[in-house]
A and B are shown apart, each in its own frame.
Chain A
Amino acid sequence: MRKELWFLVRTTLRRIFRNRSNWLIYLGLPVAGVVLATVLYGSTGQPDLQVGIVNGDGNARVAADTVQFLGKLDHVKFANVTESELREQLADGKLDTGLILSAGYSDSVMAGKPDHIALHSVKGATVTAYFKSMLSSYVDNVSAMARIANGDTATFDRLYGQYSGAGFKLTAQSVNDTSNTKEMSTQSIGFLLMFMLTSAGSLSELILKNRENRTYFRIVSSPISAKVYVLSNIIVNLIVMAGQILIALFFMRVVFHLSAGVPFATMFGLLALFALVAVSLSLAVVSFAKSSSAAGAMQNFIVTPSCLVAGCFFPASVMPEFMQRVSDFLPQSWLLAALGKLQANGGLADIGLNFAVLLAFAAVFFLIAVYKFGRSDDTRNFV
């Protein structure tokens, strides 16, 4: 059986890739997806740092001035939030960092011993370093002034007034903003998912095309069983998609220097799992379709809208909540979510559920396809 299987796989691959336009369709389009994501998301410039502030020190002078000072920084956007909102939004990735000024913060700075201040982040120092250093500098300066004044309010006011009124010359040094490249790479992966689904669809349609040109019946009336034939189609599909994944990841990393923030092997494994889902979905569609044109129409009806809702073309977070809930029923969404978790320094254990759900999608689609194929008594009047 193995020899027959590889014979079919080799012949099918040769047939597919003898047509030059198929090179472009199957292997060129994923690269085009990377380019498209780079163009769409690469020109957004330096993104604003989203900071949530919990001001528990009320209207105390230093606390209010600290907030005002930080508000003048470039590329920083503030939102006043409660402590629970801060935790939630940090976990959701809506905020990059959170500043908590507890009651007593102003007094502690005035006493020369800054306390009751905390900075929270889940994205690490690379994202918050700039903000943290500006904040530390401000707090240290003010507390130094307080120490010099040694409790003399008039001296402190004079020093603080000079400090506040002084102009600063800021020398800025650019640092690599990984959040932007991660977003670009995520959208590149989103486009790749769409192309994988599309090519899986068109490769599985070969089964229907071979039925239409009757060669399928010639094949299954030979010692090759229908199961081996379908298995060969699945293997061809997986080989082509493995090629797509490798090429897309190569172009992302080597040519466009887009680091997804996820190790190559993990990323490949995750996408290979999605390849299984794509093949099983395409087989399920083929099992229901009466002709290759009907299958093509069904694929179009499924692939593009589902990719749109799942956040393959733009982040799902910009969509209404209802649509975000709908995306929970889409495998693309689960893959992108797994990618997000890995980018947020999550480990493989953190994507266990995503992995299981993707496997379940693949299993269900396969079972539907097997059931439908098994019940077919349609020989399309072969003889």
Chain B
Amino acid sequence: MNVLDIRGLTKKFGDFVAVDNISFKVGEGEIFGFLGANGAGKSTTINMICSLLQPSGGEIRILDRDIKTQSRFAKQSLGIVPQDLAIYEDMTAYENVSFFAGLYGLRGGQLKERTEEALAFVGLGDKAKSFPKTFSGGMKRRLNIACAIAHKPKLIIMDEPTVGIDPQSRNYILASVRKLNESGCTIIYTSHYMEEVEEICSRIAIVDHGKIIAEGTKEQLTATVTDVKDIVIELKTATGGEAERLTGLPGVRKASQEENVIRIHSDASVDNLNRILKRLMEGDSEIRAVEEREPNLEMVFLTLTGRNLRD
């Protein structure tokens, strides 16, 4: 059974088409990666799934029911983990989770039980009486998740749940996502961290300019990229501008630099590694390491959209 079924979904803001006739399905038990750069139409799509925006056209079905006619059922089946924290700073962790779970009709003993369960699930059981203002960024993110899962939704939408937190909290959250999935939840996951998506998502859709331009498993998507390669060169020291010197070399499609690491997106058919190294050494750059990477999601994304996910 499809937990989410989107058909011909469109959203226009005046003349601007933010989401352009997209269709996709998310099956039960999937962790579905939804990737797109800023402004690609990803957030607008998610807002429409959450009934926060009215579509201009198309249909959204959750658990085979149209959210337009059965909005209450659809909302009851959904849990939202927004990118920006959506918690009350003046309420304790327990009160936050209990309040948001209460919105789904839970009351009394069941509400208490589910609240405690959700807090324990995200590792905040011992912080139930603490106020979020005393929490670290990672703890707040975990509380943000607890507020979305206490009512036991069938479909959870997680938007950048690991943004801006320490590696330990990030690992905890990723493990929680897997655990939720194992317990029967279907998850739609968006992230700017490509390695996270590769690690946990069973299927991925890439959105660009309001359209889905690719969809499939990680293997299916990377298999489509046979004509490009990624070369990563680590310099001993960087003066800046090294990547710019590589543009124009045969086969080089894009070269970007972060501190002393240069990433080169190049045609696979052109043997240009020696030329690249030579150009760098002519500029007195000392090379520490060179790696030619296997096709990955980042390469797929760059190839399909012409930009990095974080652009």
Contact = CB atoms under 8 A, between A and B. Distances in A.
Interface string A344-383: 0000000000000000000000000000000001010111
A215 B102 contact: no
Given A223-B104, A223-B105, A215 B88 contact: yes
A223 B88 contact: no
A376 to B, nearest CB: 10
Contact of A4 (B46, B90, B105, B148): B105
Given A19-B90, A221-B78, A11 B99 contact: yes
Interface residues of B, number: 34
Nearest to A220: B52
The residue in A7, A15, A222, A381 that gathers the most chain B C-beta atoms within 10 A of its C-beta is: A222
Given A215-B87, A222-B75, 9 more contacts: A3-B105, A11-B102, A215-B88, A221-B52, A221-B80, A223-B104, A379-B52, A382-B47, A383-B52
B76 A223 contact: yes
A218 B102 contact: no
A128 to B, nearest CB: 58
Main secondary structure of the interface of A (DSSP, over half): loop
B304 to A, nearest CB: 23
B157 A222 contact: no
Contact of B84 (A214, A219, A222): A214
Given A223-B104, A383-B80, A383-B157, A218 B147 contact: yes
Given A222-B100, A382-B82, A213 B52 contact: no
A201 to B, nearest CB: 20
The residue in A19, A215, A221, A224 that gathers the most chain B C-beta atoms within 10 A of its C-beta is: A221
B300 to A, nearest CB: 23
A7 B102 contact: yes
Given A221-B78, A377-B53, A383 B90 contact: no
B90 A15 contact: yes
A307 B75 CA distance: 44
Interface string B87-110: 111110000000110111100000
B88 A219 contact: no
Interface string A235-246: 000000000000
A72 interface: no
A383 B83 contact: yes
Contacts of B52: 217, 220-221, 379, 382-383
A61 interface: no
Contact of B75 (A217, A223, A379, A381): A223
B47 A379 contact: yes
A298 to B, nearest CB: 24
